Chain A
Amino acid sequence: AQTVTQSQPEMSVQEAETVTLSCTYDTSESNYYLFWYKQPPSRQMILVIRQEAYKQQNATENRFSVNFQKAAKSFSLKISDSQLGDTAMYFCASNTGNQFYFGTGTSLTVIP
């Protein structure tokens, strides 16, 4: 079975600053996919960014980027120019062979 670990239960960042959320995973598979999902307060979970394990280039989506270290099994999310709307729970997830595993989440608060 895969495991996904998020070691930061809570984080905060000043508006317009940069913050990095950590995630490590464990899998014996060679091909897999990694995701960051955002769950705003009382709102639905939405995809932030995804990374294919066989691609060395780190994925980027506007202000969101990842630092994918395959050998270290690390998949961190960097949020640049943080905005108040980024306040949410962030879940790291892995998918291998259609088995989805989520981490326990990091609660991010953007401070005005």
Chain B
Amino acid sequence: EAGVAQSPRYKIIEKRQSVAFWCNPISGHATLYWYQQILGQGPKLLIQFQNNGVVDDSQLPKDRFSAERLKGVDSTLKIQPAKLEDSAVYLCASSPLLESYNEQFFGPGTRLTVL
């Protein structure tokens, strides 16, 4: 079974520019998560989708971050405009169902550097 795919793997931008990340979850997985992992810290959940609906986005900085999962499959995370503190690895994960015990399957991440 194919894993969670993310692109690009690396991105370098200037502050105040925009950037978008793409995630393709494991086929059939209803739940999709976006995490931000700053160097030296654990992943922080930004947003969680169940199919194409948002379950939780309480930690998403909505003034500059947005995410969508229009058809309940692929998802994009956008940052506009980027700040220096947005430099991090952005992880996408998926799981079969919206259950607390479910294992999350992680993608390789996108490493963002904001200069």
Contacts of B40 in A (CB 8 A): 104
Nearest Cβ on chain B to A93's Cβ, whole angstroms = 8
A-side interface size class: 20 to 34
Q: Is the interface of B mostly helix, strand, loop or mixed?
A: loop
Q: Which residue of A lies closest to B45 (CB)?
A: A100
Does B21 belong to the interface (CB within 8 Å)?
Answer: no
Does the CB pair A100–B101 fall under 8 Å? no
Does the CB pair A44–B56 fall under 8 Å? no
Does the CB pair A44–B3 fall under 8 Å? yes
Does the CB pair B106–A102 fall under 8 Å? no
Contacts of B48 in A (CB 8 A): 98
Does the CB pair A91–B43 fall under 8 Å? yes
Nearest Cβ on chain B to A6's Cβ, whole angstroms = 8
Alpha-carbon distance A100/B3, docked complex (angstroms): 21
Chain A residues numbered 18-44 whose CB sits less than 8 Å from any CB in chain B: 31-33, 35, 43-44
Contacts of B44 in A (CB 8 A): 102
Does the CB pair A45–B42 fall under 8 Å? no
Nearest Cβ on chain A to B47's Cβ, whole angstroms = 12
Does B103 belong to the interface (CB within 8 Å)?
Answer: yes
Nearest Cβ on chain A to B96's Cβ, whole angstroms = 13
Does B98 belong to the interface (CB within 8 Å)?
Answer: yes
Contacts of B3 in A (CB 8 A): 44
Alpha-carbon distance A56/B106, docked complex (angstroms): 28
Does A47 belong to the interface (CB within 8 Å)?
Answer: yes
Identify which of B33, B107, B109 contacts A100 (C-beta below 8 A): B33
Give chain A's interface residues, CB within 8 Å of chain B. 4, 6, 31-33, 35, 43-47, 50, 52, 91, 93, 95-105
In the A-B complex, the 10 residue pairs with the closest CB atoms: A102-B42, A45-B106, A47-B103, A95-B100, A33-B101, A102-B43, A33-B100, A104-B42, A44-B106, A103-B42
Could you list 21 A-B pairs, sorted by A, with CB under 8 Å? A4-B42, A31-B100, A44-B3, A44-B106, A44-B109, A46-B106, A50-B101, A52-B101, A91-B43, A93-B42, A95-B100, A95-B101, A97-B100, A98-B98, A98-B100, A100-B33, A100-B45, A100-B104, A102-B42, A104-B40, A104-B42
